[in-house]
Chains A and B, each alone.
Chain A
Amino acid sequence: MERLYLIRVGMERFLGPYTLKQVQESYHKMQFGLQDEISGSLRQWVTFDNIEGVRRHYPELVQLIHSEMMSGWGMSVAPSPSVPNNARMRLGNGSTDFDRPLQTRSFLYLGLFIMVLVALIAFMSYRDGEWVNPIAYLKDRTYYQAKSHLGDRYNARFEGFMDRNRQDISQQMKAKKAFSKWIPYVRSVAFAKDGRWEGVSGKRLKGTADSYLPNDCSVGAWDDRWRESRSQWLPFLEGRILPKDEWARLLMMDTHWIRNRTPMAGWMEPGSYHEACLRMALKSLVKLTSEDASSDSKVIISRMRWQLGGIAGTSPSEEYEMSGTLWATSCLEDAHANDDLKNCFNSVKAKGAWQEFFDGMILIRRMALLAASEAQLSDASLKDLHAYLNIYAGKGSEMFMGYDEEIQFYKEVVQQKGNVKAAKAVVQKKYPGVHFEP
């Protein structure tokens, strides 16, 4: 599906549907401004000047806004360099011993030389909408070239450049400073392909992501995981077993949790190791699955597509190809009201560890929905939230994902006597990388 955007200008007319590139072109034609709104399919309308909102809902637009919209209209090329007036005066006031034509020619050459020099410095300094120290540029030319090829989104030109310079980049990455600079780019290319980058271990590609995720999320590693776990899929889907293996944990990952923390530090596209692992696991299973695939592998593929859609904020159409425990898990994530939660267990009878997992999920979902239901919680809602927090604390977390930030937020809502906005402001300061959305 092509990702398209619609722009609402002055609450009077619409522009689009546009691709991201067309949005930029339209902006260059001055067809809309910061006070206008943008929306992706089934996504929220957000004004361009609401940077926090754009970051949350349309991270792919942040660069356009920062590098162009916020820096003034039409600022796409470096200003023309000019020779300072006092330089010309100094030259004019110099010696008169030379004969006139030679002196004029010398001044002309000198002037031209200075102009070329200034233009060169300006050219080298202005890269992709930002001024760069020319010495740094010369020293780190490969990086700036990669950045320039990347532009506002991952593309084939960027990928080709990274591939051609693989060896050089891996070499540079041995230095700590260069590593942190290169790693988001390297991750993007690695996880657009098979999840590997020669010279950088799987563990380093993973970075500081949660421990329940495997250190090697390459397609090859997933091929092995899927093959080895084949016999467990059906009992897993039917709720008879809940293995603690990486493949099972991946399928149970909460898309809200991931989306609310995307993009994570050091990640661009994909926005997190969670998303990267999902992509590789999906690629692997699709490859292993032939046309006469069993229904359980279809369900697993469907669940992973659902998760990726949820993380991207698009509308996955895969929910109805799921069944059993994975259907119930997706159903819980998709619930928009408390009443919806009950309907998630019509076709599943969860027991033991599954029951504990679902109980935890339901609690988390109930609190999220409650906090999102009103700007000021009523006394009854506040009481419910308090009760859920107590149950959650008393029960201990049966979830493998850490919801500490969310729990802090709900506690703050209670502390603020139901004022959700105020609570959000407090926890947002403490956890700037987390969005507190339902």
Chain B
Amino acid sequence: MGCIVRIEMFGATDMGRVRKNNQDSLYFNAELGLLIVADGIGGRKGGEVASSLAVNGIKEAYLNCESLRHEEVEPFLIQSIDHVNKEIITKGNGSSVEGMATTLNCILFVGEKAFICHMGDSRTYLYFKNNLWQLTLDHNVENYVERGWLPDGSLAANPKKGALVRALGLSTQCEVDIYELRLQPGEILLTCSDGLTGMVNDKKLLRIIKEYEDRLYELPARLIAEANEAGGQDNITVVISHVARD
């Protein structure tokens, strides 16, 4: 079932309507087949520093890596992310940005596969033939309780259901989800920070993607505008990866 695919990427980030600075960071390069979205955690000092360290750290590690075979991708990601996590904690220690942290969603396109790495509540969705799936699981208290990974009482103890359980910088033990997806032409991956998903529900996302399917270059701006129209409560970052037939 061999089929050569080509990746096209379009992305943008926006401060939103409420925040005074943009704590999201992003990097994408279709030729390299790499995209990274990080959302500095609000309420903590130096969210923008943490997200920028995450994006740059993974980008550098990838650029310094000569080539990757399928079986080498997962160890590479685990090692790079672990390194970045330690760097965030070390740089924060004793400084004004101590305790800084960030979410991370990155995708590496290797051959006909995408490797999605994920920590926190930034998300990656898959769109195909008018269907939309959330691929990543938000690492928050609510989901952990629902799946039985945290005791039932955790929700009562934590007033914020969306409080993050996993993110870069939160702990020296850093566990990252890595998913493998075999690509097929026509698929669209949407990677975004919660500034988008907190404002625009999945149904609406599906409708907008469908509407812009033939002009994807306009889609990030359109989604950001939609989030801003809905209130723009947080920074918004959107990257679209389109799987085209080569």
State the A residues within 8 Å of B (CB): 1-4, 6, 8, 11-14, 17, 39-42, 45, 315, 317, 336, 374-376
Whether A1 pairs with B130 at a CB distance below 8 angstroms is: yes
Taking the closest CB of chain B, its distance from the CB of A46, in whole angstroms, is 12
Chain B, residues 161-197, CB within 8 Å of chain A (1/0): the string is 1000000000000000111111000000000000000
Contact B133 A13 (CB under 8 A): no
For B152, list chain A residues within 8 Å (CB).
375-376
Q: Quick one: closest B residue to A6, CB to CB?
A: B133
What chain B residues lie within 8 Å of A8 (beta carbons)? 179
- Can you list 19 A-B contacts (CB < 8 A)? A1-B129, A1-B130, A2-B131, A6-B133, A11-B179, A12-B180, A13-B181, A14-B126, A14-B179, A14-B180, A17-B128, A40-B131, A41-B131, A315-B202, A315-B207, A317-B206, A374-B155, A376-B152, A376-B156
Cβ-defined contact, B145 with A13, below 8 A: no
Q: Which of B126, B132, B178, B202 contacts A12 (CB 8 A)?
A: B178
Residue pair A39, B133 in contact (C-beta under 8 Å): yes
- The complex places the Cα of A3 from the Cα of B132 at a distance, in Å, of 11
**A316 nearest CB neighbor, chain B only:** B203
Q: Is the CB of B132 within 8 A of A42?
A: yes
CA distance A11 to B175 in the complex (A): 13
B67 in the interface, Cβ–Cβ < 8 Å? Answer: no
Interface of B is mostly: mixed
Tell me the nearest residue of chain A to B146, going by C-beta: A375
- Contact status B145-A41, CB under 8 Å: no
Q: Does B64 have its Cβ within 8 Å of any Cβ on chain A?
A: no
10 tightest CB-CB pairs across the interface, nearest first? A41-B131, A13-B180, A315-B203, A14-B181, A4-B131, A1-B130, A6-B133, A17-B128, A42-B202, A317-B207
Contact A1 B131 (CB under 8 A): yes
* Chain A residue, CB-CB nearest to B127: A41
List, in ascending order, chain B residues with CB within 8 A of A40's CB: 131
- How far is B155's CA from A374's CA once the two chains are assembled, in angstroms? 8
Shortest Cβ distance from residue B108 to the other chain A in the assembled complex, whole angstroms: 14
Q: Is the CB–CB distance between B203 and A42 below 8 Å?
A: yes
Told that A2-B129, A6-B126, A41-B131 touch, could you supply 15 new A-B pairs with CB distance under 8 A? A1-B131, A4-B129, A11-B179, A12-B180, A14-B181, A17-B131, A17-B133, A42-B132, A45-B137, A315-B203, A317-B207, A317-B210, A375-B155, A376-B152, A376-B156
Number of interface residues of B (CB under 8 A): 26
Q: Which residues of A lie under 8 Å from residue B201 when comparing CB positions?
A: 336
Distance, CA A17 to CA B178, complexed state (A): 19
Q: Closest chain A residue to B152 by CB distance?
A: A375
Q: Residues of B contacting A39 with CB < 8 Å?
A: 133
Inter-subunit contact B129/A42 (CB<8 Å) = no
Task: Give Cα A322–Cα B167 distance, bound, in whole angstroms.
Answer: 42
Q: How far is the CA of A184 from the CA of B48 in the complex (A)?
A: 60
For A319, the closest partner residue in chain B by CB is B203
Inter-chain contact A4/B128, CB cutoff 8 Å: yes
B97 at the interface (CB under 8 A from A): no
Residue of A whose beta carbon sits closest to that of B156: A376
B148 CB → nearest A CB, Å: 11
CB of A240, distance to nearest CB on chain B (Å): 31
- Which residues of chain A come closer than 8 Å to B135, judged between CB atoms? 6, 14
Docked complex Cα distance between A126 and B135 (Å): 39
Contacts A4-B129, A375-B145, A375-B152 given; indicate if A13 touches B206 (C-beta within 8 A).
no
Nearest residue (CB) in A for B159 is A378
B203: which A residues are within 8 A, CB to CB? 42, 315
Contacts of A376 in B (CB 8 A): 152, 155-156
**Residue from A3, A4, A41 in contact with B206 in the complex, judged by beta carbons closer than 8 Å:** A41
Residue of B nearest to A43 (CB): B133
Min Cβ gap B208→A in Å is: 11
Question: How far is A375 from B137 in the complex, measured between Cα atoms in Å?
Answer: 19
Docked CA distance A1–B180 (Å):
26
**CB-defined contacts of A3 to chain B, threshold 8 Å:** 131
Q: Which of B145, B155, B179, B210: most chain A CB closer than 10 A? A: B179
Tell me, in angstroms, the Cα distance from A173 to B69 when the chains sit together. Answer: 63
Q: Closest residue of chain A to B187, judged by CB?
A: A17
Report the separation of the CA atoms of residues A43 and B177 in the bound assembly, to the nearest whole angstrom: 21
**A4-B128, A14-B135, A39-B133 are contacts. A315–B206 as well, Cβ < 8 Å?**
yes
Known contacts: A6-B126, A14-B180, A336-B201. The answer to whether A41 contacts B155 by CB under 8 A is no
**B114 closest partner in A (C-beta):** A14
Identity of the chain B residue whose Cβ is nearest the Cβ of A309 in the assembled complex: B203
Given the known A-B contacts A1-B130, A375-B155, are A11 and B177 also in contact in the complex, defined by CB atoms under 8 Å? yes
A17 and B181: CB pair below 8 A?
A: no
Q: Which residue of B lies closest to A374 (CB)?
A: B155
Name the CB-closest residue of A to B126: A6
